[in-house]
């Protein structure tokens, strides 16, 4: 059973490297769950207005027949990946992050340790780990390069991301170095662990944790032959919320992921979620200097893009919140964010789902693979209401990722309480039958 430690806010005077990996629900929070899980007649009209606003924002952002828009900026199966790991203790108390960071190699293949106790790589070790990049070791392909499964000398399984040589240029080299150094400073249980990278002659290679159970998107499509039940989907949502909250609040400087989506969420054998692929990650604005946003080129994936960011080129942490709202809809419906083969009104999944939800027909959008039980029905309503808040067209109307995690914790708590009588009833019937 997971525990929920206290979760303080960013404090510049405290050590930002000490962070929990769980967030408790706070009943006294001004963003009360009562507005998330319960609906009055007046509340429904407010929600309906918000939904129409959301629908308008979706309509202006995406062209339904395409799975990627001209500004989708590619499938971000980017080569550049983050570093991450959390060692929060079982009882929920905070522990200082380990000193492991990563190792950086220059073009001469010489080693420069950032801190002791880290894995060291040479080109020879990478070749050995991948059997000279054998096609049989290939496990993925993205816009930036190819991903291989590898085994290090100590037996550790890793994912080795190798950049396409055709995309090299001076500007990319600068981005590669600055991004790796930024991401090497973060680690959390729900982020894919970074081991290091190698930059040698025309090779750019990143070594990260190997997560064996595929992506969330693959599981939503049952490509592994197993249906993710709603409890598992709630756990995934909570794990992702914790990971993104950590990036926004508990790193040395807030980090915006910019590409939260189901294909960037890897699952362990125990169906714990790990957020991956930091190819589009960006440092957030420096709030201490009074900045409210970062003005930057739009990057992300069509279907998940924040419409306000798309319109203004102003990036904030709330852009990740919008993408998370799309992900919540994806978890409930099982559909991709853009479904070009469906009829026009259903092609933008979040727009379609929010319309159904505010019309009081939430259960009609439920993934047909999920059962319509009392517990599921209640949880789905609450998840969709949180999604509606995350999908608000204006960023100031969206909750923080920390608040999303709190609400999801409460939804899961209520979900388990509704399930409990069912389990007791099932157990009694089983004993009687024996």
pLDDT tens digits along 176-205: 665 576 667 788 999 998 888 888 777 888
Using one digit for the tens of pLDDT, what is the confidence trace for 220-278?
Answer: 999 988 899 999 999 999 999 999 999 999 888 889 998 999 999 999 999 999 998 88
| Structural domain for 272, as ranges | 34-74+215-425
Q: Where are the alpha helices (DSSP H) in 263-397?
A: 307-312, 318-333, 349-358, 374-390
Are 205 and 227 part of one and the same domain?
no
Quote the number of domains for the chain: 2
- Cα-based angle 215, 89, 270 (whole degrees, multiple of 5): 25
- Is the per-residue pLDDT at 15 higher than 50? no
Q: Could you give the dihedral angle defined by the CA atoms of residues 193, 241, 217 and 139, in that order, rounded to the nearest 10 degrees?
A: -10
| Catalytic site includes residue 359 | no
Whether the CB-CB separation of 183 and 191 falls below 8 Å is answered with no
Confidence class of residue 98 from pLDDT cuts 50, 70 and 90?
A: very low
Q: What is the CATH number of the domain that holds 154?
A: 3.30.200.20
Place 101 in a pLDDT band, splitting at 50, 70 and 90.
very low
Whether 92 shows a pLDDT value over 80: the answer reads no
User: Does position 348 have pLDDT exceeding 50, yes or no?
Assistant: yes
Q: What number is the average pLDDT over the span 50-73? A: 43
Q: Is residue 137 a part of any domain in this protein? A: yes
Kindly indicate the confidence band of residue 64, based on its pLDDT and cuts at 50, 70 and 90.
Answer: very low
Answer yes or no: is 27 within a domain. Answer: no
Please give the annotated binding residues, written as ranges: 165
Is 129 found in the same domain as 234? no
Q: What is the pLDDT of residue 186?
A: 83
In contact, 423 and 383? CB cutoff 8 Å: no
- pLDDT score of 103 more than 50: no
In a domain, 383, yes or no: yes
Do 245 and 329 sit in the same domain of this protein?
A: yes
185 and 227 share a domain?
A: no
Q: 21, 75, 235, 259: which is the annotated catalytic residue?
A: 259
* % pLDDT > 70, the chain: 62
pLDDT at 385: 98
| Alpha-carbon torsion (165, 169, 173, 175), positive or negative | negative
Listed residue (191, 116, 198) closest to 160, CA to CA: 198
Q: Residue positions in the annotated binding site for ATP?
A: 165
Paired strand residues for 112: 104
Q: Which residue has the higher pLDDT, 129 or 34?
A: 129
Q: Is the full-model pTM beyond 0.75? A: no
Compute the average pLDDT of residues 327-348.
96
Mean of per-residue pLDDT scores for the chain: 74
Q: Are residues 415 and 270 in the same domain?
A: yes
């Amino acid at each position: 059973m997971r525990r929920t430690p206290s979760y303080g806010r960013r404090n510049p005077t405290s050590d930002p490297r000490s962070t929990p990996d769980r967030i408790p629900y706070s009943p006294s929070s001004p963003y009360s769950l009562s507005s998330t899980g319960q609906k009055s007649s007046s509340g429904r009209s407010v929600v309906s207005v918000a939904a129409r606003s959301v629908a308008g924002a979706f309509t202006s952002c995406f062209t339904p027949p395409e799975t990627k828009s001209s500004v989708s900026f590619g499938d971000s199966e980017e080569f550049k990946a983050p570093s991450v790991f959390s060692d929060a203790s079982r009882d929920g108390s905070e522990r200082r992050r380990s000193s492991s960071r990563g190792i950086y190699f220059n073009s001469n293949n010489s080693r420069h340790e950032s801190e002791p106790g880290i894995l060291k790589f040479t080109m020879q070790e990478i070749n050995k780990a991948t059997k000279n990049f054998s096609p049989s070791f290939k496990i993925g392909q993205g816009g930036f390069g190819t991903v291989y499964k590898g085994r290090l000398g100590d037996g550790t399984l890793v994912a080795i991301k190798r950049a396409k040589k055709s995309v090299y240029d001076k500007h990319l080299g600068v981005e590669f170095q600055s991004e790796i150094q930024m991401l090497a400073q973060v680690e959390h249980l729900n982020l894919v662990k970074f081991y290091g990278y190698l930059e040698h002659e025309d090779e750019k290679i990143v070594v990260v944790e190997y997560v064996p159970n595929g992506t969330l998107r693959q599981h939503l499509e049952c490509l592994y032959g197993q249906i993710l039940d709603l409890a598992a989907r709630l756990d995934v949502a909570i794990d992702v919320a914790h990971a993104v909250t950590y990036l926004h609040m508990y790193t040395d400087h807030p980090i915006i992921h910019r590409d939260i989506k189901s294909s960037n969420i890897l699952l362990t054998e125990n169906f714990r979620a790990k957020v991956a692929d930091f190819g589009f990650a960006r440092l957030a604005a420096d709030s201490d200097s009074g900045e409210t946003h970062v003005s930057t080129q739009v990057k992300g994936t069509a279907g998940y893009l924040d419409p306000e960011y798309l319109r203004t080129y102003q990036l904030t942490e709330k852009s990740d919140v919008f993408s998370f709202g799309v992900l919540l809809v994806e978890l409930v419906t099982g559909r991709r964010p853009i479904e070009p083969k469906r009829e026009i009104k259903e092609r933008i999944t979040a727009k379609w789902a929010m319309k159904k939800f505010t019309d009081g027909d939430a259960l009609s959008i439920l993934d047909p693979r999920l059962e319509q039980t009392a517990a599921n029905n209640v949880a789905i309503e609450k998840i969709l209401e949180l999604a509606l808040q995350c999908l608000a067209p204006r960023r100031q109307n969206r909750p923080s990722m920390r608040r999303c995690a709190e609400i999801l914790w409460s939804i899961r708590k209520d979900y388990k309480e509704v399930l409990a009588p069912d389990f007791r009833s099932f157990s009694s019937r089983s004993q009687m039958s024996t």
